[in-house]
Amino acid sequence: MRAISPPMALPRTLIEPRRIYLEPAVRDYPRGREVLERYPEAERIEVESHWKIPQLFEDRALAEDWLRLKREVLVLGVKKTMTMRPNGRSADFIAPSSSNGCAMACAYCYVPRRKGYANPVSVFVNIEDITRALFRHAKKLGAKVEPNTVDPVDWVYDLGENGDLSVDALVSGNVRDLVAAFRDIPNAKGSFATKFVNPDLLGYDPQKRTRVRFSLMPEAMAKVVDVRTSPIGERIRAINDFVRAGYEVHANFSPVIVHEGWEAEWRELFAEIDAVLEPAAKRQFKCEVIMLTHNEGLHRVNMDWHPRAEDLLWRPDIQEVKRSESGMENLRYRTPWKRQWLDCFLGWMGETLPYCEVRYAF
């Protein structure tokens, strides 16, 4: 097993757009005009599509400026498809995303595998279309008849598959609109994972209709691979605040990265969670556990901007190739070892957090 490398130096400003790429139709939407007015000094560059920006996504040299581009570039577009994809793990359905990409830079994030050599925040300005689609879909489903591991009562929609909504809320009012929408969508609940503590969300009045999943891992590991995110201790303390504010709050133990000393680090994290959580937070606390999955394309990108992380993520000696549902070839821990390591992890957690229900683990 390999030890953790020292953390890399991080920029202080999370997002401060100096250049905005936008589809022409963005100006036709109130949300688009709102965001443009928020950053009046930023250069505007019109593009055919938020996905088709060759000078941003296809230039390998830009990978060396990975963090600067996340801070200084913003993309605005219009969401075209409103498909609700079945999920069954984090949620019953993956909702049409209100954003893509992230101002944070977690070294294991799967979104850059698809976008190329830059991965700034892309915000979709037609939020009304997204909330209407959610309402129609949930109304057509009707009440959830059979409880499942996602939720015993409500249909749950993952709102942030391709980004981090807590960061998106720094850029636009999309997240506030989504939280407000789920107060009125029948038989439904919104959900998103986050690594950023944004206190603005505490004023959104979710009324238990939005689930926030704080992603947690040992602090020493997070300092290397969770780049530009909120410190782990801050995320843990925020759980109490978000429960008091009316959110349902779970943990997302992801990704679990196997390395020398990982048992002691995870036991220390579980002890910290148990010591910090208030009784109300413990009563509703559940979690997801996801072992690391990596990818050769992402490995190549990371080697251009953060090779230290690859000492921990790229481990062909203990990983094997497995084709994903989307047809991509990913690296996952070898099957017999992964099962043993996952069982160990669940055992350590159960000793300290016996009240934390595991919704799924893989």
Residue 84 dihedral angles phi and psi, to the nearest 5°: -105, 110
Exposure pattern of 73-90 as b/e (b: 16+ CB <10 Å)? bbbbbbbeeeebeebeeb
Residues 79-102+126-361, CATH architecture: Alpha-Beta Horseshoe (3.80)
Q: Would you list the domain boundaries of the chain?
A: 79-102+126-361
Q: pLDDT tens for residues 73-101?
A: 999 999 999 999 999 999 999 999 999 99
List the alpha helices (DSSP H) in 287-329: 296-305, 307-313
Name the pairing type of β-strands 319-323 and 329-333: antiparallel
Give the pLDDT confidence score for residue 112 in this predicted structure. Answer: 66
CB 20 within 8 A of CB 42: yes
**Residue found by looking up tokens 């996340």 in the block:** 70
Q: Which residues pair with 323 in a beta bridge?
A: 329
Average pLDDT by consecutive 10-residue portion of the chain (362 residues)?
Answer: 40 82 98 97 96 82 83 96 96 97 90 72 97 98 97 97 95 98 97 97 98 98 95 98 98 97 98 98 98 90 91 95 77 96 98 98 94
